[in-house]
Amino acid sequence: MADGIIEVDDGSFEAEVLKSDTPVLVDFWAPWCGPCKAIAPVVEDLAKSFSGKIKFAKCNVDNSPVIPSKYGIKAIPTLIFFKSGGVVNQITGMVAKSKLEEALQKLL
């Protein structure tokens, strides 16, 4: 994983995301997904910008089927923004960096 981004799965999701003291952005992705690869550098840049304020995590939907189905994820990439264990926002597909920055600012 890139600096500042953790990998979460069905086993670690609750501890790393739902019980996190800081807001969390979870990037649901898969290795075969083109748009997932395209948005990855954007997410990595944002992880650096918001370091210490927001936790960034990636969840490979192929390896962790439970969590994506729990949150009704039908398409990837899907970015879900969590705060205090609850979903605050969700963005699906490739979007502009500015739109992601705006969503992250609202988490703070």
pLDDT at 103 over 70: yes
pTM for the model: 0.95
Q: What is the arithmetic mean of pLDDT over 93-101?
A: 95
Q: What is the arithmetic mean of pLDDT over 71-77?
A: 96
At residue 21, the pLDDT reads: 95
Class of domain 5-107: alpha beta
* Environment class of 76 (CB within 10 Å of its CB; exposed 0-12, middle 13-18, buried 19+): buried
Tell me the pLDDT tens digit for each residue of 6-62: 999 999 999 999 999 999 999 999 999 999 999 999 999 999 999 999 999 999 999
At residue 68, the pLDDT reads: 96
Q: What is the DSSP letter of 108?
A: -
Residues labelled catalytic: 33, 36
Would you say 80 and 43 are in contact if contact means Cβ atoms under 8 Å apart? Answer: no
Query: Between the CA atoms of 3, 95, 32 and 5, what dihedral angle is there, to the nearest 10 degrees?
Result: 20
Sign of CA dihedral 78, 55, 45, 7: negative
- Of the candidates 7, 9, 15, which has an alpha carbon nearest to the alpha carbon of residue 67? 9
At residue 85, the pLDDT reads: 96
At residue 4, the pLDDT reads: 85
At residue 1, the pLDDT reads: 59
